[in-house]
Structure 1
């Protein structure tokens, strides 16, 4: 893939530098302290994304954070957790703190910056990472300027990867609105998602100016020129959907193991987005890891995700 356009890097750099609520900075600091066993210098950068970034309100929902670290040895004392993090990243954890008399809750994912940079690029076949981080993202903190710039480049790369993957579905270069709406619609189909199909359109409607500017950057550099036949592009997305369902189940199972109260959180989130409520049995509450595939199947059959 060609070098990243300077115009794109500048756009993403500016976007990542937007201010965030003090409560979000506070819970990010607490997450870094916990994740690194008191060695926060192991965190190269902290990403903030998702619904709280869009709303700007840190209460009434979970703050979504990514801690990009220098190595898994820095954050995991046990061999099992290191291997799980490396083989099926990221590991996801829950934290809550009191801030100015109110409770702030977050889920934070842990991953090395090197692995993150690879997964958002063309080597990352599945869109789990590059679709998330092609969306607006803030950098709450960085260990140094080099780490910050590496993170900015990775976020810019995610937008290129998503756009080029979606471009393979069209014969002629589509208008930006068509490209991005189709891109997000396809990525939702690769995971067990609670959101309905209109979410892709909502993303473009909210951030249309941003995505249009990114489209212009990529188009000016020839990065949206046709690289695949439409049949090959469609085949790749089919493979992503097939692999994605399995990966989603595996990540749900791992989250039940690594995430404090993970089962309750996951069921709450699915109910919040889809309206489908499933009450786990007493045995399922005691054995969240073993019961994760059973609950996932029940939710899927009732329309909790697609």
Structure 2
């Protein structure tokens, strides 16, 4: 079996790993809401790691054939096309308890192209383990594996030049995830979250790192658990510059997505405050006027919280 085939088998296996059964109720609700246009549903984020879907919000990605077939209103399709994804709130009753989720809608075309965007928004996420909750047919399942493999290759190619000449494989993932988190407005501290993510998926990353590195166009040597890459200095310089631009661009895009979510995400302001409090350990008082009119009064509060270091 070739290394490419081994990587595909590894990705297929992690996609099919067990997931919390209650989330199937969310999949049913999404399919009822958006119909036959739903091609696949992926589970991503903290629920995959904790196994508890009732702790916070379940993170889902819904892949669709075409935006115009998903929404009854054309402006939602246009917003999804101009700045993907659209994010929505969803609740389902499971065993007398409320199961809450936020789900991002992406066309299959945008999902595939996002695996190689300049911005790390998608490939930074999907270079991490996720779960396949629903897939319409085996061909789409195979296509998803191809997309995830492309995400991992993009992640490694754009991160390796920022590592030292010789490094431990896990350092590659810590570095890339830290940079990816830093390129968005996040409540979590990028360094700590990157270490947590790599620690949780260490076995997976140990399996895939060397095959991914061997596919790079640079000389690779292994030395006692460390790998050494001979990367030209100009490549390293360009990579640093690219990540600098990526961070600035990503924070701007995060802000624009927050604005867009104000029109689609029920209770979005309260959820944002919940996340800020949870990750910063600080109590945040939300004025009623900000809750009722976030686009008018929320900017001053966001700027104040940013200056206080509540999120970066």
Is the partner of 2:162 in helix, strand or coil? Answer: coil
Residue in structure 2 matched with residue 289 of structure 1 by the alignment:
295
Counterpart CA distance in 1 for 2:155 and 2:297 is: 34
Indicate conservation of the 8 Å contact 1:94/1:107, yes or no. yes
Deviations 1:153-204 (A, max 9, x none): 1112111111111012146363312211111111121111111222111221
For residue 209 of structure 2, the aligned residue among 198, 204, 215 is 215
1:83 pairs with 2:78:
yes
**Structure 2: gaps (5+ residues):** 220-230
Residue in structure 2 matched with residue 153 of structure 1 by the alignment:
146
For residue 144 of structure 1, the aligned residue among 124, 131, 137 is 137
Counterpart CA distance in 1 for 2:147 and 2:95 is: 34
**Structure 1: gaps (5+ residues):** none
Indicate conservation of the 8 Å contact 1:166/1:179, yes or no. yes
1:298 pairs with 2:292:
no
For residues 200-211 of structure 1, the aligned pairs below 5 Å read 200-211=194-205
Counterpart CA distance in 2 for 1:29 and 1:268 is: 27
**In the superposition, relative to structure 1, how do residues 151 and 292 fare at CA in structure 2: closer, same or farther (>3 Å)?**
farther
For residue 266 of structure 2, the aligned residue among 260, 266, 269 is 260
Q: Given the two structures, how large is their TM-score scaled by the length of structure 2?
A: 0.90
In the TM superposition, what is the alpha-carbon distance from 1:252 to its structure 2 partner? Answer: 1.1
Deviations 1:17-44 (A, max 9, x none): 112222111112112222x1xx2x2111
Q: Which 4+ runs in 1 deviate beyond 6 A? A: none
Indicate conservation of the 8 Å contact 2:84/2:106, yes or no. yes
Indicate conservation of the 8 Å contact 2:163/2:175, yes or no. no
Q: Given the two structures, how large is their TM-score scaled by the length of structure 1?
A: 0.92
Counterpart CA distance in 1 for 2:65 and 2:287 is: 40
